[in-house]
Amino acid sequence: MSSPSHDVWEVLSTARSIRRFTDEPVDGATLERCLQAATWAPNGANAQLWRFIVLDAPEQRAAVAEAARVALRSIESIYGMSRPSDDDQSRAARNNRATYELHDRAGNYTSVLFTAFKNDFSSEFLQGGSIYPAMQNFYLAARAHGLGACMTSWASYDGGQVLRESVGVPDEWFLAGHIVVGRPRGRHGPVRRRPLEEVVFRNRWNPERADITFGRGARPRS
């Protein structure tokens, strides 16, 4: 199990997506601390047009499980994923097993649905700048407490309507994102990212280093 950390650089560099969790529940006080951290995030005009919904009741967990099942169909298609054979011990197979386990056990976990109020004076993309920092704060606070967290796409695809109906979120609110949180089975580790020189340009766009290799058969880095 990962240890808590108060070193901000350690938290940032080891906050990998955790997809395997123990059955130990997250205590209420720790979850509240993570939610408090979410409220400290920057947001447009400090309007705080967000609401965070903890999903831990049986009915809502069942809805999360259904949303995960629906989302998995799209995820398999997008990433060209399939359940690996038992004898496949490659890195890709290990990653895929963790992903399938997360979806298979989705109804067992506590999670948080992040919503944002729709306004009529900016794009959805711009409005995301006032909710996604809150999600990141929650995610990093969970890591700081030694918890595991994973941002999912279960509030997207057709799973979004499942969650909206289960929770009763009005249409004028976006389902901005969803995070599973729990006690990790295993440890946090250093994140894997592209070298800085590949992603930072100075003053001018660099077409030679702007290649995109993400696509079918590829996986995002955790």
> What does each of the 222 residues of the chain score in pLDDT, given as a tens digit?
579 999 999 999 999 999 999 999 999 999 999 999 999 999 999 999 999 999 999 999 999 999 999 999 999 998 889 999 989 999 889 999 999 999 999 999 999 999 999 988 888 888 889 999 999 999 999 999 999 999 999 999 889 999 999 999 999 999 999 999 999 998 898 999 999 999 999 999 999 888 776 544 444 444
CA atoms within 13 A on the CB side of 90: 7
Domain definitions of the chain by residue range: 8-209
- What's the per-residue H, E or C state across the chain? CCCCCCCHHHHHHHCCCCCCECCCCCCHHHHHHHHHHHHCCCCHHHCCCEEEEEECCHHHHHHHHHHHHHHHHHHHHHHCCCCCCCCCCCHHHHHHHHHHHHHHCHHHCEEEEEEEECCCCCCHHHHHCCCHHHHHHHHHHHHHCCCEEEEECCCCCCHHHHHHHHHCCCCCEEEEEEEEEECECCCCCCCCCCCHHHHCCCCCCCHHHCCCCCCCCCCCCC
For 39, 47, 57, 117, the CA distances from 32, given in Å and listed in that order, are 11, 21, 16, 22
Residue pair 141/5 in contact by the 8 Å Cβ criterion: no
Q: What whole-number distance in Å separates Cα of residue 112 and Cα of residue 53?
A: 5
* 17-59 pLDDT, tens digit each: 999 999 999 999 999 999 999 999 999 999 999 999 999 999 9
**Adjacent-strand bridge partners of 51:** 115
Cα angle at 49 between 57 and 140, to 5 degrees?
65
What is the predicted pLDDT for the residue at 1? 54
Distance, CA of 132 to CA of 173 (rounded, Å): 15
The 10 Å Cβ neighbour count of residue 68 is: 25
The C-alpha atoms of residue 78 and residue 98 are separated, in whole angstroms, by 17
The yes/no answer on whether domain 8-209 falls in CATH 3.40.109.10 is yes
Structure tokens at 102: 């997360």
Q: Which residues are registered as beta bridge partners of 151?
A: 179
